[in-house]
Structure 1
């Protein structure tokens, strides 16, 4: 009886513990983790392996800053809704095949700051919806050519701060990765680049292909490619212009900057452009713009698709908001161009008979007419100002009021001159000059006689005698001395 009683007591205790455990953790959140809504955080818990039970409702799982060394098969199979997985700052060296089985909803995977040495082709093959992959700050020296195969929704991949000496650029050609716009291979150990394979990459990939801080050997073809990217305004060169360096003759101690030490490349011969230049089109705001996808394929067995600068796929008949229209022959029409329509448009032509594809890039720039209108207004204003000035000059010449000389004078004697303050213009110099203030030139045919003035109490006073006949005449005149002054010449 005593043994049976002990068994009953132990059973009751176990049942009580299980009930209490279920009550304290009703959603199955691991005891070492923090659960908040659909987020499961197990950060900095010194975990050597994944928790045995993970809640199926989690969409974000943070396992960073632990000591995980390996991801086993099916470790995340119980998380069908998982979209973000953070495994940074661990000790990961191996990812088993099938580690991400049943985790196809995953979109963001952070494996940075680990000890991975190789990226094998089976690592991510289940992650068909993956968009962002972070692998920087590992010890990766090799990437399998099929490591990124099947990741058709991939947008950004980061391989910086590793030990890569080469990279399979051919594996990221369109249409296998039509949405890829960022590939960071900076700060690795690349000494040479397959220039011809890099050149044929789509413009949206080259715009985000970061190659700076690599021990590249200085070559004319490499310098020419970076120079071309700079002219096109690619962010991969523009944002890290000073960090693009190379080694003269491959010597580590002879490092130079591509865009500063241009004399290193002054002997390079730039022949005909071997890289297919992007077509450039310009349009004004509100105008329609039509451009075609010219390829070497026969249109009878070819289908086309366009990718806009905003990573939007366009197929016939056009986009959802009907601002873009696409025709079956591959032509794309922007009905009313706007400033946000500027950028590089990529056309992908797929030939089903030849099982080949070609791409074509069109660089579209949408401008406003503001500058033209301003220049037109400026020219019109200048013309109007000239006309007004000309009218004023004509009015001055022909409509000046007649003050003195046009009046009929009773006695045209010198004493009846209109004003002693008038400027006198004569064609011959006078015989004598009266007064100390009068100036006459004896060497010229035209003589200007300045009036004799004196200033008294701030007013001009005519220096003439009180009994002078001119003064007598002015006293009887209704006009004052100042009103008689005129700029019109006196014609004798």
Structure 2
């Protein structure tokens, strides 16, 4: 019998809270891909792998215990803020490579703040907006290589206080991100920055040279459009001399473009031999002056290594140092004041968890103070000028001495010496009086004046002992030699040897 009345119908009760919660959790599954650990993804303990499953969006309903989420090799082109609606507090690795990503929301990482490894490599990203990674304070490794990134906001990496490795290679970056490694603005934990294979044309060489070795060891900039220069060669050669990984591991990939019309790409290490004739690099010595304070840097390839020093003569430096040699808190060695005995080779022995390293520093102390160096140069310059002046005066005295026959102005053009007088002081190749010219030319000989004949009483020179006195010009012999005689180069007043 049918009962049309309401009393005959079964009572209807509202759904229980447990059923409502179940329906609420199932609703998001209809909006996106469903996480299926048996069909769509592979779940192994706390690892969820959805790689190569043709996903276009991130599956919802991810377990809160997920520690590693692999979404690589899919077609997820946009990472929106709501890709996860629950906090994944245990997620430390997120893999999104090879997805064709073109957009990442600035709020995409609000619910995954515990990430330590983020892989966004091999996508189609073109820019990095401001503060995009700011929530990731615990992130240690960020992979962005093989994208199309050409624009990076200066604040894009702000907040990454724990970042250790940043991979930006194989992009279209045109500016070297110096703020990431420079003092006062750099990421304190960053030990690797890879900007190789980009479009960087200007390298801040001076700033890079000033970086500590533990940063330069992991700074990779090979395969960029850098112009060749000796400064660039000096930078790379010094890094190679220190056995830094960035220069040693990729030695063949450090290239540059030659200036001029040729525009050829050559290896930077060949610039000192074949192209620009740059000076070869050698280990530089530390120079010091008496009395100054000298600090020797133990510039290691690894950060925070235990350091010990050895002085010349294999004398260890105690950790507390002494009055003149002190080991500083950062491991460097301070010498103050510098003395000559401080010259020599110092050795720094560094010990770390990964490697041990020995750094040698050669010190050469100059034998004068830094302020006195200019005085020494002035003294040397004055001495040199004095020597040159002395040489000039000697030459003037020997070759430009004026005639000393002050008794008569014309005696320097005196007549030819007499043939029978050995006291004549003439140097001439002209014939003597009464002799044929041919005989005079063959009968030359040299005679010297005996000093005894020139002395009078008490050893004084007698005025008449040296031959004839100078006569007035109007009483001279009419046969005197003319001053125009080309072979007469001396006079009777000369003190040169006599040629007869």
Normalised-by-shorter TM-score class:
0.5 to 0.7
Matches within 5 A, 1:337-416: 340-341=351-352, 364-365=358-359
CA deviation after TM superposition for structure 1 residue 174, in Å: 4.4
Q: How far apart, in 2, do the equivalents of 1:36 and 1:48 lie?
A: 23
Look up the SS of the partner of 1:40 in the other structure: strand
Q: Which of 89, 94, 97 is matched with 1:88 structurally?
A: 97
Partner of 1:61 in structure 2?
Answer: 69
Partner of 2:329 in structure 1?
Answer: 330
Contact 1:133 1:157 in 2 (8 A): yes
Q: Which of 35, 38, 42 is matched with 1:30 structurally?
A: 35
Partner of 2:56 in structure 1?
Answer: 48
CA deviation after TM superposition for structure 1 residue 260, in Å: 3.3
Partner of 1:372 in structure 2?
Answer: none
- Which whole-Å deviations, capped at 9, do the CAs of 1:229-273 have from their partners, x for residues lacking one? 1111111110111111111127685111112353355444799x9
Q: Does 1:199 align with 2:199?
A: no
Contact 2:271 2:277 in 1 (8 A): no
Consecutive unaligned residues of structure 1, counting only runs of 5 or more, are 281-291, 296-305, 315-323, 346-362, 367-492
* Count of matched residue positions in the alignment of Structure 1 and Structure 2: 309
Q: How far apart, in 1, do the equivalents of 2:59 and 2:285 lie?
A: 52
Partner of 1:171 in structure 2?
Answer: 180
Partner of 1:211 in structure 2?
Answer: 221
Q: How far apart, in 1, do the equivalents of 2:211 and 2:58 lie?
A: 40
Partner of 1:248 in structure 2?
Answer: 258
Consecutive unaligned residues of structure 2, counting only runs of 5 or more, are 288-293, 307-318, 334-347, 361-500
Structure with max Cα Rg: 2
Look up the SS of the partner of 1:130 in the other structure: coil
Q: How far apart, in 1, do the equivalents of 2:260 and 2:61 lie?
A: 53
Task: From the superposition, tell whether residues 252 and 188 of structure 1 become closer, same or farther in structure 2 (CA, over 3 Å).
Answer: farther
Task: From the superposition, tell whether residues 78 and 252 of structure 1 become closer, same or farther in structure 2 (CA, over 3 Å).
Answer: farther
CA deviation after TM superposition for structure 1 residue 213, in Å: 1.3
Partner of 1:75 in structure 2?
Answer: 83
Q: How far apart, in 2, do the equivalents of 1:178 and 1:57 lie?
A: 31
Look up the SS of the partner of 2:256 in the other structure: strand
Partner of 2:194 in structure 1?
Answer: 184
Q: How far apart, in 1, do the equivalents of 2:354 and 2:230 lie?
A: 28
Partner of 1:152 in structure 2?
Answer: 161
Task: From the superposition, tell whether residues 251 and 111 of structure 1 become closer, same or farther in structure 2 (CA, over 3 Å).
Answer: farther
Q: How far apart, in 2, do the equivalents of 1:150 and 1:277 lie?
A: 39
Task: From the superposition, tell whether residues 263 and 81 of structure 1 become closer, same or farther in structure 2 (CA, over 3 Å).
Answer: same
Q: How far apart, in 1, do the equivalents of 2:91 and 2:295 lie?
A: 40
Look up the SS of the partner of 1:246 in the other structure: strand
CA deviation after TM superposition for structure 1 residue 332, in Å: 3.7
RMSD of Structure 2 on Structure 1 (CA): 4.6
Partner of 2:136 in structure 1?
Answer: 127
Task: From the superposition, tell whether residues 78 and 342 of structure 1 become closer, same or farther in structure 2 (CA, over 3 Å).
Answer: closer
Partner of 2:234 in structure 1?
Answer: 224
CA deviation after TM superposition for structure 1 residue 220, in Å: 1.6
Q: How far apart, in 2, do the equivalents of 1:30 and 1:94 lie?
A: 23
Look up the SS of the partner of 2:251 in the other structure: coil
Task: From the superposition, tell whether residues 96 and 218 of structure 1 become closer, same or farther in structure 2 (CA, over 3 Å).
Answer: same
Look up the SS of the partner of 2:259 in the other structure: helix
CA deviation after TM superposition for structure 1 residue 325, in Å: 9.1
Partner of 2:47 in structure 1?
Answer: 39
Partner of 1:98 in structure 2?
Answer: 107
Task: From the superposition, tell whether residues 227 and 339 of structure 1 become closer, same or farther in structure 2 (CA, over 3 Å).
Answer: closer
Look up the SS of the partner of 2:206 in the other structure: helix
Partner of 1:392 in structure 2?
Answer: none
Partner of 2:147 in structure 1?
Answer: 138
Look up the SS of the partner of 2:269 in the other structure: coil
CA deviation after TM superposition for structure 1 residue 40, in Å: 1.1
- Report the TM-score when normalising by structure 2: 0.52
Partner of 2:496 in structure 1?
Answer: none
Look up the SS of the partner of 2:193 in the other structure: strand
Q: How far apart, in 2, do the equivalents of 1:228 and 1:307 lie?
A: 13
Contact 1:129 1:152 in 2 (8 A): yes
Q: How far apart, in 2, do the equivalents of 1:190 and 1:248 lie?
A: 15
